[in-house]
Amino acid sequence: MDEQYKKKLLTIIYFSVVFYALHNFITYFIFSSYLSQYFSRFELSMIYTVSAFVSILISNFFGDILKKFTNYKTLITVLIIQFITTSFLALSDSLSIFYLSIFSVMHIIFSTLIWVSINIFIEEFSDHKNIGSIRGTVLTLYNVQAIIAPFIAAQFFEFIGYTGIFILSAISLLPLMYINRRFFNHVKEPKYKHINLFTSFKMVWNNKDIRGVIASSFALNTFYGAVNIYLILYLTKTLGIPTLLYVGIITPLSVIPFILIPYRLGKYSDEIFGEKKAMIFGMLLMSITMVCIYFFKINSTNIMLWIGILFIARLGATIAETENYAYFYKKVDERSAGLIALFQNMVNIGFLFISLAGAIFIGLLDMDISYIFLISGLVGIISVFIIMRIRDTEIKRKLEIKEIEEKNGQATRIINKEEIEKENEAEEEWREIKLSSN
């Protein structure tokens, strides 16, 4: 594919990221609060558990799906289904509990699949020399909507309630459908590798670098699950902070790090290298903050305090996530559909783990909801020990430079040797000429 054409398609896919993020974030921060109107905490946890489990099963066959239908056809089909599903959720008062649970599960599953397909296109159109800055740009564009969408959602929630939020979320998919149909219909896609979930896990297990980045991703998504399923319930249901304040003020201000950090940090990864140190620092900052919520029994209703706590935790998360993305996509290419699907499905694996923990500890054992924050923090701290084993690209770069210098040195020595031999030959010839003249 021509480089200029790839750059054009990459710019277009950036717009896809923006509209997908709007669709996702309009409902993302209020979804568990929405479900809590109709389901117990155990049932709510099981909805997230089933969603995550089914998404993982689908990812097992994702490479085969792409090989048969292409990424373009897969994405357009999933977008249509997601539009219908989200529209039905806007009619929740008219749905039975059974159908509401089915559509809720579908909404989570297809949202994940859309993001996997978009990421495969991003990988296909990316210049691997600049993968860090490209991924930083993607995360910045994605996370800007984490501020814009809650503000918009808060306005709709105030006047129309949850119905308006889901209608808006469904409408935001329409530009995404148009972009996909208009620009990606004739894109020549690569031959995707057939790598099922179990093979991918085996590859991860045998490669300490990929194992480290997957562990980091698992911990990150455990954190996101803890915050977006249970922390919102803790603040709005246990502490009594109004949902409108959480969506309209606490969330937009606390996600600012997701906008300020990714692009510059991604550029740093390309120019200076060394994702490992930043990944560890971010993971520790995020994890220690979550553990502190449990140990210090923070139950204040002070909004500024919670903005500060979530700001620090998300600062750590965005540092770890940016380096996580940059490191992973330097290790794979667009043909590695199985590994990309596995990496993106760490969202579901993290949510599966934390929702199962919630179902057991909160639903069955009736323990305090703050135990989830302790579990999330401990997962992050444990992941640091796995991340520490990865081979930093900074070290790899130094070895490459050393190897180049050694080759240059060897070449210089060969040249010098040849020059010395030529000088000796010339001197010998001169001696012979002098002797013959005498």
Per-residue pLDDT of 138-191, as tens digits, reads 878 888 888 888 888 888 887 788 888 999 999 999 999 999 988 888 777 766
Q: Are the C-beta atoms of 344 and 116 separated by less than 8 Å?
A: yes
CB-based contacts of 38, cutoff 8 Å, min separation 6: 92, 97, 100
Query: Which position has the higher pLDDT, 93 or 249?
Result: 249
Confidence of residue 194 (pLDDT cuts 50, 70, 90): low
Dist CA 121 CA 343 (whole Å): 15
Q: Which of 57-66, 105-114, 404-413 has the highest mean pLDDT?
A: 105-114
What's the DSSP call for residue 248? Answer: I
**Residue showing tokens 């590994």:** 339
337 pLDDT band, cuts 50/70/90, is low
Q: 217 vs 193, which has greater pLDDT?
A: 217
Mean pLDDT, range 418-425, rounded to an integer: 66
pLDDT of residue 6: 81
Least confident of 72-76, 161-165, 306-310: 161-165
- Which residue shows structure tokens 């089915």? 102
Ramachandran angles phi, psi of 299, nearest 5°: -130, 25
- Give residue-wise pLDDT tens across range 114-125: 988 898 888 788
Give the pLDDT score at 14. 92
pLDDT tier at 373, thresholds 50, 70, 90 = very high
Q: What span, in angstroms and rounded, lies between the C-alpha atoms of 179 and 194?
A: 28
Which of the residue ranges 8-22, 44-58, 138-152, 395-409 would you say has the lowest mean pLDDT? 395-409
Q: How far apart are CA 99 and CA 245, in angstroms?
A: 30
Spans of all domains in the chain: 3-391, 406-438
Residue 207 tokens, joined = 């490669």
Q: Residue range 272-279: average pLDDT?
A: 73
The one-character DSSP state at 185 is: T
Q: What are phi and psi of 12, to 5 degrees?
A: -65, -40
And the tokens for 112?
A: 């994940």
Closest listed residue to residue 27, CA positions, set 86, 82, 77: 86
Residues 348 and 51: their CA atoms lie apart, in Å, by: 8
**Inter-residue contact 157 to 247 (CB < 8 Å):** yes
Q: Residue 209 above 80 pLDDT?
A: yes
Query: And the tokens for 212?
Result: 């480290």
Distances in whole angstroms, Cα of residue 59 to Cα of each of 115, 194, 344: 12, 12, 9
**The CATH number fitting domain 3-391, selected from 1.10.8.350, 1.20.1250.20, 1.10.4080.10, 3.20.20.100:** 1.20.1250.20
State the DSSP code for 40.
Answer: -
Contact between 216 and 331 under an 8 Å Cβ cutoff? The reply is no
CA–CA gap between residue 38 and residue 40 (Å, rounded): 7
Closest CA to 355 of 112, 35, 37, 42: 42
Residue 26 in tokens:
């309009």
